[in-house]
Amino acid sequence: MSHYTANLRDIEFCLFDLLGRDKVMGTSLYSEVDRDTAMGMLEEMKRLCENDLAASFVDGDRMGTDFNKATGDVKLPASFIKSYQAYVDGEWWRLDAPVELGGMKVPPSVRWAIAEMVLGSNPAIHIYASGYAFAQVAFVLGNEDQKQIAKLMVDKHWGATMQLTEPDAGSDVGAGRSKAVQQADGTWHITGTKRFITSGDADLYENIVHFVLARREGGGPGTKGLSLFLIPKFMFDHKTGELGKRNGVYVTNVEHKMGLNVSSTCEMNLGEHEPAVGYLLGDVHEGIAQMFKVIEFARMMVGTKAIATLSAGYQHALAYAKTRIQGGDMKVMNDKASPRVTIIHHPDVRRSLMVQKSYSEGMRALVLYTASIQDEIELAQEAGDKDRVADMIALNDLLLPVVKGFGSEKSWTLLGTESLQTFGGSGFTQDWPLEQYVRDAKIDTLYEGTTAIQGLDFFFRKVVKDGGRALGLLGKEIQAFAEAGGNNAEEKAALLKALGDLNAIVGVLVGHAMESQSEAAKIYQVGLNTSRCLMAVGDIITSWLLLRQADIAAEKIATAAGKDKDFYTGKIASAQFFIKNNLPHTTADRKIVEATDGSIMDLPESAF
């Protein structure tokens, strides 16, 4: 029996009832994908995920990777290779490949809805299949020869990696010491060591193209001195793709991890024994700007993965709570002869389930709302509406650290404290998939920048550097909704109050940032609260999206029956529960931010 059940009913509701994506489907850029086509794709992916992809989820964890240190090669379990091949054979790679190279143009909202199911059923499959998205980057940013490399990556289904992190530098990418020296033939020889490289090697494909940040000889310090190079595992004929000699990029270690064990996380050595030959991407030294095209995709993926896992955990917890009989009803708990009941009858279990339901549904809406903004970017670019393009890009940039930071942090926390907890001691065993979900999901708070880094990025880059424009646009939309009246008036009033508290939080932090220009230590009072600010923003956006869903459900419930009526009843309950139980924390956060004095930074290290 599959560990995974896709919540396609909620995905459909978000895409079409909440976000109205059917209005853009079948038109303009998306002329090949109308609503019926999209639903057909989603239904087929649901089938594939619940069967072929999910089939190797446990094997991938228990068997992990087989690393040959002598050759630097990594082998994966046969069952996982079979699942991965089912994904490729189904031609789902076309969703990420350039249209010019056989890709299919679909709205990002549909693409990420499909990705949720893949990431929920067997996340490593999506991660190993990232070569097609990397090919998109090489095709868009590369010179003519590199566009041909992108074509070979797609045609021959090659893999790819993103190589930023170095052992000493960690998240301080600008401190990297990998070096690139130009050769007479225009290629570059790269030397250095990279660490925590996802998909560094695997026997899923015949070749891998590594996207590597390195400092060119003579390049300046920091991130501005970095360039991006394409370094293949095997050299190849650039016309035919026929493989040649081994290139000088080798796996020297595969990390032993707490989770996501079938995903090879590698230490890579470049140029130690033989040259690691690479090609400067696009013939320009703009490494960080180019790599951010990949990083933004990766952050969206990580947040989606986390939220997909929370949804899967909730589905298991709900099914268990409906069947596990334990204890009597609390109303008659003193009557020892009273019938035993399923645990969904117990108040705290219901509270726990509603926490899981509201967050998983609210954060699914967050992912798909963000993806719908990506739809609008593409459509505005096609229409030549530069002002709308600028607004939508700013909004997407604002939302990405929320999807990644808020989504991963809440999902990881709730999977352990609520989903697994529902099972009691059984959740701590391998009889159920929850313990693997918890282990696998922890990486999401660390991947592509920790939660603290997402908080710093959100405040300094997406709010301060932007002059608060994108946050202001979003805030106005939320305010207009909260002031519109209608159903859930009490909850909308609470949302409006929380929005005011958030504005106050941002105002305090901006004030400290300005004061730090003359009193440097004031910046600590910002740094102590950027993660708190990010979490508050996430709760408010989630509240807003849940309430929008509740309003839609209230309109539909009068004519609904059976499962549909239950679905809409649950939507209204989720929103009301979330507002009453989570949103009041924003007021507390405001008080904490206002009271932060930075004194913790004056403590001697010996006091900790």
- Mean pLDDT by groups of 10 residues along the chain of 608 residues: 95 98 95 97 98 98 97 97 98 97 97 98 98 97 97 98 90 86 97 97 98 93 92 98 98 97 98 95 93 93 98 98 95 83 97 98 98 98 97 98 98 98 97 98 96 97 96 97 94 98 98 97 97 98 98 96 97 98 97 96 96
Q: Which of 448, 477, 490, 555 is catalytic?
A: 448
- According to DSSP, residue 56 is labeled G
Q: Where are the beta strands (DSSP E) in 25-139?
A: 66-68, 73-75
CA dihedral 75, 77, 82, 88 (to 10 degrees): -40
Ordered alpha helix ranges (H), 483-529: 489-515, 523-527
Cβ neighbours, 10 Å, residue 526:
24
Find, among 214, 160, 205, the residue nearest to 187 by Cα: 214
DSSP three-state, residue 275: coil
The residues spanned by each domain of the chain are: 8-134, 159-285, 450-601
Cross-strand partners of 66 = 75
Q: For the packed helices 562-581 and 347-383, what is the interaxial angle rounded to 10 degrees?
A: 100
266 contacts 197 by C-beta, under 8 angstroms: yes
Characterize the bridge pairing of strands 249-254 and 243-246.
Answer: unpaired
Tell me the two tokens of residue 363: 């954060």
Find, among 160, 169, 166, the residue nearest to 129 by Cα: 160
Dihedrals φ, ψ of 238, to 5°? -75, -10
pLDDT at 473: 95
Instruction: Give the list of residues 6+ apart from residue 268 with CB closer than 8 angstroms, or none.
Output: 161, 163, 193, 194, 195, 197, 200, 210, 249, 250, 251, 252
Instruction: Give the list of residues 6+ apart from residue 213 with CB closer than 8 angstroms, or none.
Output: 163, 164, 173, 176, 178, 226, 227, 228, 229, 287, 288, 291
Cβ neighbours, 10 Å, residue 477:
12
243, amino acid identity: L
93 contacts 204 by C-beta, under 8 angstroms: no
Cross-strand partners of 162 = 211
Give the chain's length: 608
pLDDT at 367: 98
pLDDT at 336: 79
Side-chain half-sphere exposure of 39, counting CA atoms within 13 A: 12
Torsional class of 260: left (φ above 0), alpha (ψ -120 to 50), beta (otherwise): left
Query: Per-residue b/e over 405-444, b at no fewer than 16 CB within 10 Å?
Result: bbbbbbbbebbbebbbbbbeeebeeeebbbbbbbbbbbbb
Distance CA 353, CA 336 (A): 26
Answer yes or no: 32 catalytic.
no
Tell me the two tokens of residue 415: 């999977």
Environment class of 32 (CB within 10 Å of its CB; exposed 0-12, middle 13-18, buried 19+)? exposed
Tell me the two tokens of residue 405: 């930071």
pLDDT at 175: 80
98 contacts 154 by C-beta, under 8 angstroms: yes
Tell me the two tokens of residue 128: 């190993």
Q: How would DSSP label each residue in 231-267?
A: EESEEE-TTT--EEEEPSEEEEEE---SS-TTS-EEE
pLDDT at 337: 80
Find, among 138, 285, 266, the residue nearest to 195 by Cα: 266
307 contacts 364 by C-beta, under 8 angstroms: yes
369 contacts 402 by C-beta, under 8 angstroms: no
Instruction: Give the list of residues 6+ apart from residue 490 with CB closer than 8 angstroms, or none.
Output: none
Q: How would DSSP label each residue in 424-463?
A: GGGGGSTTSTHHHHHHHHHGGGTTTS-HHHHHHIIIIIII
Same fold, 8-134 and 159-285: no
Class of domain 159-285: mainly beta
Query: Per-residue b/e over 496-509, b at no fewer than 16 CB within 10 Å?
Result: eebbebbbbbbebb
117 contacts 46 by C-beta, under 8 angstroms: yes
Angle at 414 between CA 411 and CA 420, to 5 degrees: 120
- CATH fold group of domain 8-134: Butyryl-Coa Dehydrogenase, subunit A; domain 1 (1.10.540)
